[in-house]
């Protein structure tokens, strides 16, 4: 009887103890949602980074609610390799994906991508618009994906030609078009995203929203052009003879006899700037619609927001247009991250980061194990304290063996032929003076060279030829 009573008492005591345990010990913590906003070809011409002519109130609003990075850089200054690197977690030199003509999927068959990793860990993973390069989407990575928003989010009628390939100067395409916002593809993508923010989901949500603008053609409704009168347009800072101290390889990259020569001859440089600014503002309005929907939803307090651009853009600096280069304008790209309970509103981080950080950082924020293959630094410490000590540089790769290392002070470029460029951003933010040939900087170059990627995998046969042929307008 004594043993029986002792057993009963022990059972009761165990039950009482378990009953008083907090629910979190028995139930998994609620996973945060992720709103993943991708912008195409957006350089640093945004209000929160200090560009006085830009009209980006919605990007500025998001920056005021999270951490904005002033020194964020792409993994590659081309759409396809930049996006492939971000979603696979493998740098271009590791995967061999260097250009728009290379399908990243056969080179990464066993790689668990960022969206697939979330899908495999209980997330409902939805996307629309441009996340990876449009031609190379891997369908199984997503629970559902719409390259173009479904019919219910599309306008009933479309007037005119959104692409408008006949306007502009040579390969730089721009002109106002006679469409309403509602008739633009990016508007439909925003509508699709809004609908899913408003919907109820049984699983945590990874929602990717990819805007094509301000990718060329810079063709948006006239009202956006009217916001930027031509007589108020300012050209970007340039320097006569800027290419004189570049190695031959760098001059070849700049292609001064191409787009820039055509723009100078046309006399329409300011019109091109106007069109780019107009297209940025159109995109910003669509971002605003998405942010408004998040604010009005039941997800607002449990959603991580990440907004990034795949690379920057030249508008005549270094006698160069487009991306396709390793200088500041082509490689710097906006990055904003807002994490409820982690980031403080309106904080600014001046540390160097690159987009390879997004995969490992989102894993850390969502309590997912980072796959072993993933490169890049976890920047959660910078989200918690933007002024934290940080020694990791940003690395950008153009083609095989062409790399740039960016620290807070220096940009060091080494091309595949061994030629070099070195810029001191403390005194030369426009990168007008190449210091690479000066003997007093030999030790600086040597230290920066240690940070260059060691992986330089060969791309598919004909990669360089494909790159020259297919990178145009992508």
**Confidence band of 150 (pLDDT split at 50, 70, 90):** low
**Confidence band of 149 (pLDDT split at 50, 70, 90):** low
Q: Which of 10-19, 55-64, 269-278, 328-337 has the lowest mean pLDDT?
A: 10-19
Q: Which of 95-104, 256-265, 453-462 has the lowest mean pLDDT?
A: 453-462
Query: Residue 357 and residue 24: Cα distance in Å, rounded?
Result: 30
**Confidence band of 20 (pLDDT split at 50, 70, 90):** very low
pLDDT at 154: 60
As a whole number, mean pLDDT of residues 211-218 equals 96
Catalytic residue from among 117, 133, 320, 403: 133
Query: Residue 308 and residue 349: Cα distance in Å, rounded?
Result: 15
**Confidence band of 26 (pLDDT split at 50, 70, 90):** very low
Domains annotated on the chain, with CATH: 30-394 (3.40.720.10)
As a whole number, mean pLDDT of residues 70-93 equals 98
Neighbour tally for 310: CB within 10 Å: 29
pLDDT at 134: 86
**Confidence band of 18 (pLDDT split at 50, 70, 90):** very low
Rounded to the nearest 5 percent, the helix, strand and coil shares of the chain are 40, 15, 45
- Contact 106/86 with Cβ under 8 angstroms? no
* Percent of the residues in the chain that have a pLDDT greater than 70, as a whole number: 87
- Catalytic (active site) residue 133: yes
* Per-residue model confidence as pLDDT tens digits over 169-199: 999 999 999 999 999 999 999 999 999 999 9
As a whole number, mean pLDDT of residues 97-113 equals 96
The DSSP annotation for 120-182 comes to HTT-EEEEEE-SS-GGG--GGG-SEEESS--GGGS-S---S-SS-TTSSBTTB-B--BS--GG
pLDDT at 258: 97
**Confidence band of 159 (pLDDT split at 50, 70, 90):** very low
pLDDT at 164: 54
> Is the bond leading into 344 cis (omega within 30 degrees of zero)?
no
* Percent of the residues in the chain that have a pLDDT greater than 90, as a whole number: 85
pLDDT at 135: 86
**Confidence band of 30 (pLDDT split at 50, 70, 90):** confident
pLDDT at residue 15 tops 60: no
From residue 441, give the alpha-carbon distance in Å to each of 62, 74, 404, 414, 419.
40, 26, 17, 15, 15
Catalytic residue from among 74, 79, 209, 363: 79
Look up the pTM and report it.
Answer: 0.91
Average pLDDT of the chain? 90
């Amino acid at each position: 009887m004594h043993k029986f009573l002792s057993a009963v008492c022990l059972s009761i005591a165990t039950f009482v103890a378990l009953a008083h345990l907090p629910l979190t010990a028995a139930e998994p913590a609620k996973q945060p949602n992720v709103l993943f906003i991708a912008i195409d070809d957006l350089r640093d011409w945004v209000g929160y980074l200090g560009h006085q002519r830009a009209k980006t109130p919605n990007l500025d609003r998001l920056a005021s609610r999270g951490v904005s990075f002033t020194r964020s850089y792409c993994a590659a200054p081309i759409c396809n390799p930049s996006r492939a690197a971000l979603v696979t977690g493998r740098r271009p030199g590791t995967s061999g994906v260097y250009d728009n003509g290379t399908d990243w999927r056969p080179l990464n068959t066993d790689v668990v991508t960022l969206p697939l990793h979330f899908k495999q860990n209980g997330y409902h993973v939805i996307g629309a618009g441009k996340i990876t390069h449009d031609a190379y989407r891997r369908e199984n990575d997503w629970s559902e994906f719409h390259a173009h928003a479904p019919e219910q989010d599309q306008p009933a009628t479309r007037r005119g030609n959104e692409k408008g390939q006949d306007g502009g100067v040579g390969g730089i395409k721009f002109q106002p078009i006679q469409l309403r916002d509602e008739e633009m593809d990016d508007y439909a993508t925003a509508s699709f995203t809004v609908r899913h923010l408003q919907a109820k989901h049984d699983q945590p949500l990874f929602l990717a929203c990819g805007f094509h603008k301000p990718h060329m053609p810079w063709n948006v409704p006239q009202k956006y052009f009217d916001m930027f009168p031509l007589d108020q347009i300012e050209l970007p800072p340039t320097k006569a003879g800027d290419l004189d101290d570049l190695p031959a390889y760098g001059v070849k990259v700049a292609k001064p006899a191409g787009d820039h020569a055509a723009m100078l001859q046309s006399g329409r440089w300011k019109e091109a700037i106007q069109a780019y600014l107009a297209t940025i503002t159109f995109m910003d309005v669509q971002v605003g619609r998405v942010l408004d929907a998040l604010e009005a939803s039941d997800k607002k307090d449990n959603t991580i927001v990440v907004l990034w651009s795949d690379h920057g853009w030249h508008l005549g600096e270094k006698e160069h247009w487009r991306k396709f280069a390793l200088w500041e304008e082509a490689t710097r790209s906006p990055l904003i991250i807002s994490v409820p309970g982690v980031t403080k509103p309106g904080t600014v981080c001046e540390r160097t980061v690159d987009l390879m950080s997004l995969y490992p950082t989102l894993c850390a924020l969502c309590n997912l194990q980072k796959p072993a293959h993933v490169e890049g630094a976890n920047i959660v410490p910078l989200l918690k304290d933007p002024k934290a000590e940080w020694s990791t540089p940003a690395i950008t790769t153009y083609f095989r063996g062409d790399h740039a290392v960016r620290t807070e002070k220096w940009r060091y470029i080494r091309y595949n032929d061994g030629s070099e460029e070195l810029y001191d951003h403390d005194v030369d933010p426009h990168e007008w003076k190449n210091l690479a040939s000066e003997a007093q900087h030999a030790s600086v170059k040597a230290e920066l060279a240690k940070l260059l990627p060691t992986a330089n995998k060969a791309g598919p046969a004909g990669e360089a030829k494909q790159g020259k042929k297919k990178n145009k307008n992508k």
